[in-house]
Every structure is written in structure tokens, then in C-alpha cells.
Structure 1
């Protein structure tokens, strides 16, 4: 069966920037947008132009700077929002307006103080109005995760008739379980007339830690686009992590999906976004965390040294990281210690390694991690000990410092 392409819609510059304290200036946004295009994302949501003059300018400048990727601007289902979004996209080669409205009972009653019928009327008007400015119009049914499927299907069918090209099904509060969200996507695929004419998109939040799992369930049930962010940044607990969903697709061939992402640029893109946003990546973050390819347990270290796949399902080189890290701690064994010394150019026989290891453990019990500088100090101590015992050390070439105890 032919693989199905999953479009990657990156909203780091819009939803991602909604994190408190995560403010990007126009120059930084343009730099990230260019990196995202180079990474291979299909759509860049550049901002919410009506929210501030700065956001408007950023969308405008990104539109000028991006040549291949779709540039998208968010708006509410309000004429002025849509007009401002269209103006900000004036120079975009491939512009998209992303407009929509809340569809859950909670949003209809309490946010809009409205009725389902009036919400549909506003959705119709918003899509028709946006189509006057651009051909590519994405509609979002905010809080779709908590929207009754029958009403959601009715909204989708209506906006398709009005010319929507993409429909976004957001789990706005991270409420859904994967099976529930997947079933929602499947229900729409099977019950909405004209659904085959448009791209169905996921947009999942991570309030319960299920954003990536829900997005995966969505595409497994027929969605063709995933809305996500670099490092999983975003409102509250964040959004679906781009690197996670992309690498799940890449590593699991049986899913029969593919993306156009150049995964070897993931690490550098993650670093750039972290640098500009000031949002540090948690150490144990999947794919891009500093510990994602680090090993400190002796059993794990021995396995990885013998064959990487024993404890790593992803090759670090596939995401732009040179190699796995062997971190020396009190839990490390002799093989890890020999491996790290080998990296420094030292090769030991078993007896000498035993001597080094005993002193290493003394250091490791006092510290969280042993550095290369400390490894050399330990080696000097062992050498001094052997000299006092009238033992001769033979060192070969500078590049091959093979130490033998005689």
C-alpha cells in the first residue's frame, strides 16, 4: 500500500509564543520561520495579526521571507480580524487564512452567549469572507474535543460547502483520550459529505500529556495534517511536539505515513527555538532533551557500547546529534569507563583497567558525574601508584596511548 503523506503545520510562532514570558521580536520570528522552511514544514502559522502591531509586522515580514512553505495567519470569525490577516499576508507566495469559532456547548453558552444555529451562521460568514481574500482557508472548530460529534459534523459539512480547504479539529483543553479523539476523526471521515475534498487537521494540547498520542490517533483514523510546535511549546502545558510526531512516523514503517521533514535538522531547530524563546528544553524531553541519548546505568552503557540498538530505538544522527553520550557515574561499569578513556586516546589492559576502576569508584561516589578532566587526574593517580611499586608503563604513540602494566 502506498504511503500517505502527513502535512506538518508548525504553530511555534503563534500558539507556541502564547507561553507566558515567551515573546519573540520580528527578527527572531523571521529567523525561526526560515529555519522551519529549511526543516521542511508544510505550513508555518506565522501569528495572530490582529492581536498587536508587532504580530502584524512579523506575519508581514515572514510572508516576504518565505518562498515555498504556506504562510498562515490566524483570525477569529470577525470581519476585521480576517481583513487584517489578509493584509499581513499580502506578500506571501502561498497565503492561508486560519479562521474559526468555538463549537462546544461550553463555548457556545458561556464564551459567546449564543446558540448552535448562530454559531453556524458565523462560521459560514467567516469562511465566505476569508475566501474573498485567499483561496486557501482553514477553519478551526475550537474545543472540538468537547463538541458533540453530530454537531461538529454539521459544522464541518457547512464550511466545506462555503469553500474551506482545511478543517482543524482542536482538542483545545487536552481533554480527549487517544481512542476518543481517533473515533471523532473517523466519525467525521465517515459522516461528513465532501470530507474527501478537504484536509482534516489535528491540533492537540498537552494538558494531560496526551497531545502526541491524540495526534497519532487522529492521523491513524484519517487526518492528513498535524498542527504542532518545536519542543512542544504552547499554551499551558503545550502542544503536540513536532519532533515527537515526526520521529514516530519515521521510525514506524508499518504506519505507512511519511512527512517531508529533514529530521537531521531537528536538533538545531530545537536549539534555535529554545534560544530565542528562552524556554529551556527539559532534560528528559523525548528526541531533543539533553538526556534523550545519554546513558549512565552500567548495564545500559555496556549494551549501547556493544550495539546502539540495545537501548536506543532512534539513531541520534537521524535528528542531528553526533552520537550517544556515555555519562560516567557511580552506576557505570568497566566497559563504560574503558569506552570514555578510549575517546581520550587511552587503551588499557584488564589489570590496569581494574586499578583505574577502583579509584574511579572512589571519585564517583562523591560526585554526580565524572568529567574528562577528572579522568586524567584518576589516571595520574594510578600511574603514580604503579611507579611507587616499581612497575613500568609503556605508552605508544600520541594518538594511540596504549597503556600496559608489566
Structure 2
């Protein structure tokens, strides 16, 4: 690449839309809002907050996010239908910087078998949708679904027409993750050079990871003139996922000498953004995940350790601090004060309001009485537990379990309802967890299906907190819950109650996540 003036590439984050569509990644409104706030602090240019027409719940979450986020553009996804655009207009009414994002397939296989439309009809529908959206919004993005498997000249024709109709961004996705980097880069260059009026709009890419090439294809596209990259935190998304935000950002940052492009992302917020998405979705990243995996900056081989101790540049092309992993490992314990704790939160990239800080600090003090040293991962777990939870319909008062190899299991639990009423239940089960979950179900009056129950440790050693993740389902809808405690049974109870509270809050608010009858295809 030549040494010309560095370009700034926009980051379009779709963690809350495409990421949340992936199995097991559903979030409640409170969790989505916490992620949106973190994305705003991270510095993404556009947050795709959801698909407003897909359900009342999605419309409500987009509306909530649009009313609070001020420093980012907030986008809502729509099919090329007036009813979808109307839903997006309603959801984005309070946004400081709204964007309506419209998509329509352009590949032969999609047009013939899914849309059952001719190319001429697709072109006309795309133009009509953009013109209709233009009545309500100046910032309009049009995505040609399955663009890479489309005739490039037809894509250029559609893009030229929608730009003339008012689109300010046109998106060329590799919807099924089929492309190779060289050919995808060449395609983007072709689109850039052969689309009428391309100079009036930004060219975006949205790459899926079915062959593990989403980031490589995105970087190849940027090298060939793409102005915007669509991605998700941790690469979550449909099937094998989307291009990973952190890998694109750090790829551009570390290889600025080659790519001559950068983003507005505050890279020191990357690590905490990754951890937040992991916590609210319950979907962990593999240890060897680039940039944010637990082993990304670990060195076990002796020759590597020796080199890193002599000069970190021998085996590290970026520092842990560059993505927000704190260098100063201050030890906190039961004698640590509020000021030291708040300073540690700031070092870790967390900013919380006064009331939330008091809640987290109170939990820290309880934990510090149980553990000699409280680690960064312990603090992170406390922050996630307080800030991203649904309001408590049910609060844990106390619990007890009697179990043994010849006794079976009996669970006793007392919960306090938000209206002040205390309820106690005794139940038997196949094991201690089954017994206590059954008791909770009896109190709540519902028996959701337990889809996932997973226990791990936050740190090493016998004094580590146990971290439990659960997923429950009720009448076709799904909720996540997590809990931490030095007692794994208590962490299990907290996780289950967290999921129950998310369910109760959604149901009480009348928030529906019922999907549209026709399948919602990704861009």
C-alpha cells in the first residue's frame, strides 16, 4: 500500500441484531442497553440495535436504545417493505442520529427461490423502499443480500439506482461466507469503480465466517476501497458468526503501515466490551481466540518466555494494555477502601453511576470477607452481575440443601417478592440443583425448560468463585441468567433466579419476542 493519507473506516456494529440472532445469544432489553452503552464508549460509528418489525420486543429495545445513545448512529434493519420501514421509523423516532437499513436479495438463487421475483422486480422494489424510507430519514443504508453470489454488474446497477433514490450507504455482503480474500477484494474494487454515483455514498461490507475468512475478507475489502465494515463483538452471529470487531480494528491498527486505514475505536475498551458480551449472552470465546482470548497474551514455551522478558516485541505485536487489559495489577482485599475500588474499576475500563458503584462495592466487601485476594476477574463478575441484570421480581432470602448418596436431595428456599411477600418452598429432586430449581418453580408458578446449565471457575484455586450460566425457555421464548458465588450451589441459584427475573420482567412488561411467520434472513 502507498503511504498516502490514512483513511478512516466506519465501524458498523451489529452485535445487537445479527449477533443476537445466533442460537443462544438472546438478550433482554436491560442487557442490550448495557451492551449499547459499551459500544458507544468503544466508539463505534453505527449501532444496529435490532430488527424493529420482527417483534414488539425488538421494536421496544431499538426504541429504548435510540432514546439513550447520543454519540453513535443507531440503525434499525428492515426488509424492503413499507410496514418494516414504518416499524423502524417508530423505533428510531428518539434517536439523535437515526439510520434506516434496508435489505433485499440480489443473487439468482435468492431471487428465484426465496423472493420469486425477476431482477427487474427486485430493482424496482429496492428503489421504491429507499424512496419511501427517504421520506422519514436522511441516513439510509441499502444491503444487497447475498451480493457476492450475485452478478456484479446487476449489483452495480441496483446500487446506482438506490443511490440515485437517496441511499447514503450501500452494503455488499458475503452473506454465506463463500468468498476468498483476493476475489472479495477484487469484487469490492469492481463495485467501487463501476457503480454509477458511487462517489455520493459509502461502500460497506458485511462478511460471514462460514469458511473462517470473515475478517480476512473485510480487511481485503478495506484495502480495495470499502468505507465501512460491519462486524460484531467476539464475532458472534448466524451460523459460524460474523467478522470480529476486535480483529478488524486491531488488524488495521497493528498493520497501519500496510493498510493505511484506521477506525475511531478506542481500543482500550475492547477487552471489557468482549467480556460484557460474553457475560450477557453466556457464549464464551475460545481460549486461543485472537485479541481477546485468555491465551492471546500468554506465553508458555520457555524460549517464548525468555524472549518476552527480554523484549516484549520478540513475540507480541501488540500489548495487553492496548486492548484494555490493565497493566497495574493492584491487589484488593477486605481492607481496601471505596476509593481504591473505584480507581480499580476505572483502570479496568468501567464507568458506573453512584448508586451502581455502591451496590458493586457492597458485593465486593462481602466477597472480600470470603477471599483473601479479590482478582480483576472477580471484580468484572461483580460489575456484570449488578449492571446487566433485569430488575428483581424475586430476591433470594436464604436456602438450604440436604443431600447424600443414600439420602436423595431436598431443597429448601425462601424468596422475597418485590411486593414484599416472602414465600418458602421445600422440594425433592434427583440432585441438589434439581431439588432447588424445582422449589423455585413451585414458588414462581411456572416450570420453564432448562436448556443450558454450565458451571465454571472465575479464577484458579479452591477459593475461586464459581460462575454458573443457565438458559431457560418458556412458551417458545428464551432467557439467560448468570450467578457467581464462592459456593457453586449458591451461584447456581443466583443464575436461575437471574433468568427467572428476566422472564418475569419481560412477561410483566408485555414484551413479546414472537418471530415473524416468514424467516428473517440476515444481510
TM-score range normalised by the length of the shorter chain:
0.7 to 0.9
Match of 1:43 among 31, 39, 46: 46
Residues 1:311 and 1:77: Cα distance change in structure 2 (over 3 Å): same
Match of 1:261 among 257, 260, 265: 265
Give the Cα–Cα distance (whole angstroms) in 2 for the partners of residues 131 and 322 of structure 1.
45
Cα 1:99/1:305, change in 2 over 3 Å: same
Q: RMSD value over aligned CA atoms?
A: 1.5
Distance 1:372 1:298, change over 3 A: farther
Q: CA deviation at 1:253?
A: 2.1
Question: Residue 188 of structure 1: CA displacement?
Answer: 1.1
Q: Aligned partners of 1:130 and 1:185: how far apart in 2?
A: 26
Contact 1:227/1:240, CA 8 A, preserved across alignment: yes
Q: 1:122 Cα deviation (Å)?
A: 0.6
* Alignment gaps of 5+ in structure 1: 326-370, 374-406
Query: Do 1:100 and 1:126's aligned partners in 2 also have CA atoms closer than 8 Å?
Result: no
Alignment partners' CA distance in 2, 1:10 and 1:257: 18
Query: Contact 1:30–1:62 (CA<8 Å) still a contact in 2?
Result: yes
Shift, 1:258, TM fit: 1.5
Does structure 2 retain, via aligned residues, the 8 Å contact 1:294–1:324? Answer: no
Using a 3 Å threshold, how does the CA distance of structure 1 residues 114 and 173 change in structure 2: closer, same or farther? same
More strand by proportion, 1 or 2? 2
CA contact (8 A) 2:157 2:196 kept: no
Q: Which residue of 2 aligns with 1:220?
A: 223
Q: Which runs of 5+ in 2 are unaligned?
A: 330-459, 463-523
Which residue is equivalent to 1:270? 274
Count of aligned pairs between the two proteins: 328
Residue 311 of structure 1 pairs with residue 307 of structure 2? no
Residue 21 of structure 1 and its aligned partner are, at CA, apart by: 1.6
Question: Match of 1:99, SS?
Answer: strand
Give 1:284 deviation, angstroms.
0.6
Give the one of 5, 17, 25 matched to 1:14: 17
Structure-2 separation of matches of 1:149 and 1:372:
57
Indicate yes or no: 2:286 matched with 1:282. yes
> Is the aligned partner of 1:179 residue 2:182?
yes
Query: What's the TM-score once normalised by structure 2's chain length?
Result: 0.62
Superimposed CA distance per residue, residues 55-101 of structure 1 (whole angstroms, 9 cap, x where no aligned partner): 11100000111011000000000110010011000000100000020
2:9 aligned with 1:3:
no
1:333-372 equivalence runs, <5 A: none
2:518 corresponds to: none
CA separation in 2, counterparts of 1:324 and 1:140? Answer: 44
CA contact under 8 A between 1:63 and 1:91: conserved in structure 2?
yes
TM-superposed deviation, 1:322: 3.0
2:130 and 2:166 in contact (8 A); partners too: yes
Q: 1:139 aligns with which of 121, 138, 142?
A: 142
Distance 1:98 1:257 in 2: 25
Aligned equivalents of 2:166, 2:247: Cα separation in 1: 32
What is the match of residue 87 of structure 1? Answer: 90
Counterpart in 2 of 1:379? none
Structure 1 runs (4+) greater than 2 angstroms displaced: 322-325
Aligned to 2:62: 59
Residues in 2 aligned to 1:175 and 1:145: alpha-carbon distance in whole angstroms? 8
| 1:166 equivalent in alignment to 2:162 | no
